[in-house]
C-alpha cells in the first residue's frame, strides 16, 4: 500500500525558485552585489533536507509495503495461525491488534522487522482491528489498517478447576483442571494457562490422561504464597473442531503448613504445624487384606458427616455406615481420614478398617474433645497426610491430588 507523504513543498521546488530570483538580479546589480545574492541563493539551495537525494525524494511515497492476512473484512477466521503481518521493501516499526474492549494481542516484531508474530491465539467470535506501520530505507512511513472476525465454534470445552477463586488452601494443594472434552493438543492448552506466584517459584504442569492437567511446584508450597491463574482458553483448539470458551483469572492463597504422618506400624499419627509437632493421635488403619495406601495424600474434601457404603468401593455389602463423622477425603477411590465411633479399643492398638484412617469419635460427632473432632477443626483442603510402613504400595499420583508421589523429573516430563 502506498504511504502518505510526510513533507510539504519539496526542497527541489524551493531550489528552482531561488535560482530564478538570482538570475533576474544579475542584470541590474554590480559584481559585488551579485556575489552577495549568489551567497543567499546558496543558503536557500541547502533546504530542510540538506539538499541532494534526501531533499529530492522527500515528496515521494514510501516504498515499504505492509501486508496483513487475513484480508480486510474477513469472517470466520481461525483463532491460531491465520493472523500474519509482514513488510516488504521496509521494516515494521509498530503493530497493534485490538479487540472491541481495547485489549491488545501480545506479539513481537521479528526477522529484523520483516514480520510480526502474535504470542498467543485469538479469542473466538471476536472482531479484531489491526494497525501496522513500516518505514522504508529513507525513513518514509507506510501504514495499513484492517479488521477481521474470528470463527464461532460449534463445539466447545471448558476446564473445571480446583481450588476455587478466593480460597485459602494447604501447602499440598495443586491447581488442577479437568476438561469436559478429551484434549489432543495438550501443548496448546497448557500454554493457555498462565500461573504466577508471589513469592515467585517455578510451577510445572503434568497431564493425567487427556482430560486432567495439574500444576505444582517442586516441593510443597511455601505458606503465605499468593497464586494467580489466568485461564486463556477462549479460542484454543483443544481437539479438531473443538475450542475452549473460557477466559478467567482467579486467585488463591496458601495457608499455614500442616503435614500429618501416619505410622501404620505404631498406629500413631504425628501432626506437624509449620514444622513443629502439635499433637500425636492414636489411629487405626487398614486391616490385613485391606491395607491403607502408603504415600503422600492431600485432603480434597471435608464432610462433617457422610455415608460410607462398601458397595461404592467394591467391597460389596461388608459395611454401610450412614453417619460417619468428621470425614476428610484423601483419594478418589475412597480413602478417608475420618471419625470412628464403632472401633472400640482399636485406636493405637490394632488395625481394623477397610483402608481408611480412623480416629476416635462419638456418634453424631458432637464431642469437640475427641481426636477426630480436634483434627477436623484444625484441617483444611490441601493439607497433607503421609502414610508410611503399610504393607500396601504407594498410592497412584492421579488417585486424588497426590502428584507429590511422583519425582520432579517425571512430573516435568
Average confidence (pLDDT) over 189-197: 98
| Grid cell in block for residue 68 | 496483513
12 close to 54: Cβ distance less than 8 angstroms: no
* Cell 486467585 found at: 251
pTM recorded for the entire structure: 0.82
Confidence of residue 377 (pLDDT cuts 50, 70, 90): very high
Nine-digit cell string for 168: 485459602
What's the rounded Cα separation, in Å, for the pair 360 and 341?
Answer: 6
Overall average pLDDT of the 292-316 stretch:
89
The DSSP bridge pattern shows strands 276-284 and 175-179 to be: unpaired
Q: How high is the pLDDT of residue 317? A: 66
pLDDT for 320 = 85
**Contact by Cβ (8 Å): 280, 270:** yes
Beta strand spans in 31-110 (E): 65-69, 74-77, 84-88, 91-98, 107-110
Q: Please give the mean pLDDT across all residues of the chain.
A: 88
Check whether 35 has a pLDDT greater than 60. no
Q: What nine digits make up the cell of 43? A: 543558503
What is the number of residues in the chain? 413
Neighbour tally for 75: CB within 10 Å: 11
pLDDT, mean of residues 137-144 = 97
SS3 382: coil
Q: What angle do CA 60, 64, 70 make, to 5 degrees?
A: 135
**pLDDT attached to residue 73:** 98
What phi, psi does 129 have (nearest 5°)?
A: -110, 135
Residue 19 confidence (pLDDT) above 80: no
Q: What are phi and psi of 227, to 5 degrees?
A: -115, 130
Per-residue model confidence as pLDDT tens digits over 318-332: 778 999 999 999 999
Task: Give the pLDDT confidence of 38-92 residue by residue, as tens digits.
Answer: 333 333 333 333 333 444 466 799 999 999 999 999 999 999 999 999 999 999 9
- Of the candidates 194, 214, 193, 66, the residue with the CA atom closest to the CA atom of residue 141: 66
Q: Which residues of 127-161 are buried (b: 16+ CB within 10 A; e: fewer)?
A: ebebbbbbbbeeebbbbbebbbbbbebeebbbbeb
Closest to 151 (Cα-Cα) out of 116, 123, 176, 181: 123
- CA 106, 111, 113, 116 dihedral sign is negative
Q: Just list the catalytic residues.
A: 338, 356
Q: Is the pLDDT of residue 120 over 90?
A: yes
pLDDT at 265 over 50: yes
pLDDT of 150 reads 98
Question: What is the rounded average pLDDT of the residues 121-131?
Answer: 98
Q: How many Å apart are CA 378 and CA 63, to the nearest integer? A: 72
Q: Kindly give, in sequence order, each residue whose CB lies less than 8 Å from that of residue 160, ignoring residues fewer than 6 positions away.
A: 177, 178, 179, 180
Average pLDDT for 20-38? 36
Question: What three-state secondary structure class fits 241?
Answer: coil
Residue among 159, 241, 150 at smallest CA distance from 193: 159
Going from the C-alpha of 32 to that of each of 22, 26, 38, 98, the distances in angstroms are: 13, 10, 10, 65
pLDDT score, position 202 = 98
**How far apart (Å, rounded) are the C-alpha atoms in residues 402 and 409?**
16
Confidence of residue 313 (pLDDT cuts 50, 70, 90): confident
Q: What does the pLDDT read at residue 3?
A: 43
Taking alpha carbons only, the member of 118, 122, 98 closest to residue 110 is 118
Kind and range of the H or E run holding 117 = strand 115-118
What does the pLDDT look like over 235-262, one tens digit per residue?
A: 999 999 999 999 999 999 999 999 999 9
CB 189 within 8 A of CB 179: yes
Answer whether residue 13 shows pLDDT above 60.
Answer: no
First CA to last CA across the chain, in angstroms?
A: 48
Query: Grid coordinates representing 239?
Result: 481437539
Nearest alpha carbon to residue 94 among 43, 132, 56, 59 = 132
The predicted pLDDT at position 364 comes to: 96
What was the pLDDT predicted at 57? Answer: 60
Is the per-residue pLDDT at 18 higher than 70?
Answer: no
- CA 367 – CA 23 distance, rounded (Å): 115
Contacts made by residues 364-368, CB under 8 angstroms, sequence distance 24+: 364/323, 364/325, 365/304, 365/305, 365/325, 365/326, 365/339
Amino acid at each position: 500500500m502506498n504511504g502518505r507523504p510526510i513533507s510539504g513543498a519539496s526542497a527541489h521546488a524551493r531550489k528552482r525558485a531561488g535560482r530564478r530570483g538570482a538570475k533576474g538580479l544579475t542584470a541590474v546589480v554590480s559584481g559585488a552585489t551579485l556575489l552577495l545574492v549568489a551567497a543567499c541563493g546558496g543558503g536557500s539551495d541547502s533546504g530542510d533536507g540538506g539538499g541532494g537525494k534526501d531533499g529530492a525524494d522527500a515528496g515521494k511515497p514510501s516504498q515499504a509495503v505492509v501486508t496483513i492476512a487475513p484480508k480486510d473484512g474477513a469472517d470466520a477466521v481461525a483463532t491460531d495461525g491465520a493472523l500474519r503481518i509482514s513488510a516488504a521493501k521496509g521494516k515494521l516499526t509498530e503493530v497493534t491488534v485490538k479487540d472491541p474492549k481495547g485489549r491488545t494481542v501480545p506479539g513481537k516484531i521479528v526477522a529484523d522487522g520483516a514480520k510480526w508474530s502474535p504470542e498467543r491465539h485469538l479469542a473466538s467470535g471476536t472482531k479484531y482491528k489491526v494497525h501496522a506501520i513500516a518505514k522504508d530505507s529513507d525513513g518514509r512511513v507506510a501504514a495499513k489498517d484492517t479488521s477481521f472476525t474470528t470463527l464461532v465454534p460449534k463445539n466447545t470445552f471448558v476446564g473445571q478447576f480446583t481450588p476455587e477463586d478466593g480460597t485459602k488452601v494447604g501447602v499440598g494443594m495443586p491447581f488442577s483442571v479437568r476438561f469436559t472434552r478429551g484434549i489432543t493438543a495438550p501443548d496448546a492448552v497448557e500454554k493457555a494457562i498462565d500461573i504466577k506466584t508471589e513469592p515467585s517459584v517455578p510451577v510445572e504442569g503434568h497431564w493425567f490422561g487427556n482430560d486432567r492437567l495439574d500444576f505444582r511446584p517442586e516441593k510443597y508450597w511455601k505458606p503465605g504464597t499468593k497464586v494467580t491463574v489466568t485461564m486463556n482458553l477462549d479460542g484454543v483448539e483443544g481437539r479438531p473442531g473443538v475450542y475452549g470458551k473460557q477466559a478467567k483469572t482467579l486467585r488463591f492463597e496458601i495457608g499455614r503448613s500442616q503435614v500429618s504422618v501416619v505410622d501404620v506400624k505404631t498406629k500413631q499419627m504425628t501432626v506437624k504445624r509449620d514444622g513443629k509437632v502439635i499433637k500425636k493421635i492414636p489411629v487405626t488403619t487398614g486391616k490385613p487384606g485391606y491395607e491403607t495406601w502408603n504415600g503422600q495424600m492431600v485432603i480434597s474434601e471435608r464432610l462433617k458427616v457422610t455415608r460410607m457404603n462398601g458397595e461404592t468401593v467394591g467391597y460389596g455389602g461388608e459395611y454401610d455406615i450412614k453417619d460417619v463423622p468428621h470425614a476428610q477425603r484423601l483419594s478418589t477411590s475412597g480413602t478417608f481420614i475420618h471419625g470412628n465411633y464403632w472401633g472400640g479399643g482399636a485406636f493405637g492398638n490394632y488395625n481394623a478398617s477397610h483402608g481408611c484412617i480412623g480416629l476416635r469419635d462419638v456418634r453424631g460427632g458432637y464431642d469437640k474433645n475427641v481426636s477426630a473432632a480436634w483434627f477436623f477443626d484444625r484441617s483444611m483442603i490441601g493439607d497433607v497426610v503421609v502414610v508410611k510402613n503399610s504393607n500396601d504400595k504407594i498410592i497412584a499420583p492421579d488417585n486424588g491430588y497426590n502428584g507429590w508421589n511422583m519425582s520432579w523429573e517425571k512430573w516435568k516430563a
